[in-house]
Structure 1
Amino acid sequence: MAFDYKNASPEALKNEYRRIAQAIGDDQFFTKKELAHLPAVLADGEQILAFCSGLMDSSTWLITLTDQRIIFLDKGLLFGLKQSAIDLDKVNAISGETGVFFGKISIQDGASNRTIDNVPKRTVVPFTNLVRDAINNRKHGKHTIGAAQADDPVARLEKLSAMLSKGLITEAEFTEQKARILQSV
C-alpha cells in the first residue's frame, strides 16, 4: 500500500525517511529541514522512491526522486525556500561519477543540466539507477501503486475512512470529501 506522506504522523514520516535513507545510503544529516518540508510539495498519492543530498549552486540541496518527478529543495540556512522540479517525462539523461569519498550526479532535461556535487559516494549509483528505472517505468506505462491509487475512487474513499477513524479529520470533513469523490465518479 502507498505511504501517505501528507497525513502521516511525524514519527511515521521519520521511520519512512529512515527506511528510504538506509536503502539508498543517505545519512539525512544536512537535509533535515528539507525533509520536514517535503510533504508540503508532494502531490496527493505521489510516492518517494529515493533521495540524496549534495551541493548545487553553493548550497546543500535535497534531491528527491518520486514516481512522477525529481524535486530539488533548499530550505536555506535561516529562511527562504528554493524549489524546482523536473517531470520524469522531461529527463533526457542522468549520469553519476564517484571519487574517493564523494560523487556527483548530473541530470539533464531539455532546458538545463543540473549538477549536484559532494553527493555521498555510496548513494550515486543507487540513485542514478533508480532514476533510470523510474523513467523506463513511466515510458512503458508502469506506474507505482501510489500513482494508480491517486485516481482510484475506492482507494481514495478507503484512505478517507482511515483518516476519519484515526481522528485526523472530522465527520464534517469526511462527509464533504466523500461527496467530492463520489461526484467525480
Structure 2
Amino acid sequence: MGKFSDRPDIEAAAQKVRPAIGAKREIQHLPTVLWEGETVDLLATGQYGQGVGLVALTDRRLLFLKHGILSQALEDFPLGNISSVQWTTGLLMGTLSVYASGNRADIKSVPKTHGEALSSRLRMVISTPPAAAAPAAAVPAQAGAPDIASRLATLDQLRVAGAITDAEYQERRAAILASI
C-alpha cells in the first residue's frame, strides 16, 4: 500500500489508523494547515458538525479537518484551552467530547480503538503540567500520589492501545517516577 504523506510524523500516525482510514484527502492536505514546527501525534476519522473528516492530535492542538470537493472545514482546539475530555463508546464507534473554553465539541463516529487511544493521550497531555511550572519536588509526596498513579495508569493504556512505542513508554514512565 502507498504512502499517505512525505512527512514522517504524519506517515507514522496514518499507518497506525490504516484499517479505519477514510480520510486520505485530508491527510494529504494536513501539512498545509499545520503551524511551523508542529508535529502530528495521532490521527483518527470522525464526524464533526455536518462533515466526516480527520481528527489530528498534534503537539500543540487537536484539530478536525474536512477537505471535500464541495466544502472544507477546519476546527482547532489549542491544548492549553482543553479542560476535559470524555470518551463514550458503542460496539464499534464512539464519541469524543472535548471541553474547551467553556464549550463542548462532540466528534462522533470515531473508531473505538482510535478514540480510546486519542482520549487517553489527550488526558495525559492536558494533565501534564507545562515545563515552566513549579518543580514536582515542591509538591508533598502524599498529595501527588493519586496523580502519579493515574498518570501511570494512563501511560499503560496508551501502550496497550499502541498509541506510544515501548521506548516512549519507558521514557515517560521513568520521568513520572522521577517526579516522586
How high is the TM-score relative to the length of structure 1? 0.62
Aligned: 1:94 with 2:88 = no
Alignment correspondent of 1:74: 66
Report the CA distance between 1:28 and its aligned residue. 5.3
Alignment correspondent of 1:19: 12
Alignment correspondent of 1:35: 27
Once the two structures are superposed, residues 15-53 of structure 1 have per-residue CA deviations (whole angstroms, 9 ceiling, x without a partner) of 654532444x45353211111111011111111111111
Unmatched 5+ stretches in structure 1: 1-8, 143-185
Checking the alignment, whether the CA contact within 8 Å between 1:52 and 1:119 is kept in structure 2 is yes
Query: Which 4+ residue blocks in structure 1 deviate beyond 4 angstroms?
Result: none
How high is the TM-score relative to the length of structure 2? 0.64
Structure with more contact order per residue of length (Cα contacts < 8 Å, sep ≥ 6): 1
Would the alpha carbon gap of residues 26 and 109 (structure 1) be closer, same or farther in structure 2, given more than 3 Å must change? farther
Distance across 1 between alignment mates of 2:131 and 2:14 = 27
Distance across 2 between alignment mates of 1:26 and 1:133 = 24
Alignment correspondent of 2:36: 44
Unmatched 5+ stretches in structure 2: 133-180
Would the alpha carbon gap of residues 22 and 65 (structure 1) be closer, same or farther in structure 2, given more than 3 Å must change? same
Would the alpha carbon gap of residues 58 and 26 (structure 1) be closer, same or farther in structure 2, given more than 3 Å must change? farther
Checking the alignment, whether the CA contact within 8 Å between 2:9 and 2:40 is kept in structure 1 is no
Distance across 1 between alignment mates of 2:85 and 2:4 = 32
Q: What count of residue pairs does the alignment treat as equivalent?
A: 130
Report the CA distance between 1:82 and its aligned residue. 0.9
Would the alpha carbon gap of residues 27 and 16 (structure 1) be closer, same or farther in structure 2, given more than 3 Å must change? farther
Identity %: 24
Query: Greater Rg, structure 1 or structure 2?
Result: 1
Once the two structures are superposed, residues 75-119 of structure 1 have per-residue CA deviations (whole angstroms, 9 ceiling, x without a partner) of 12x233211211100001111112111111111112421111111
Aligned: 1:134 with 2:137 = no
Alignment of 1:132-171 (within 5 A): 132-137=123-128, 139-141=129-131
Would the alpha carbon gap of residues 11 and 84 (structure 1) be closer, same or farther in structure 2, given more than 3 Å must change? closer
Report the CA distance between 1:135 and its aligned residue. 2.0
Distance across 2 between alignment mates of 1:45 and 1:140 = 18
What one-letter code is carried by the residue in structure 2 that aligns with 1:45?
A: G
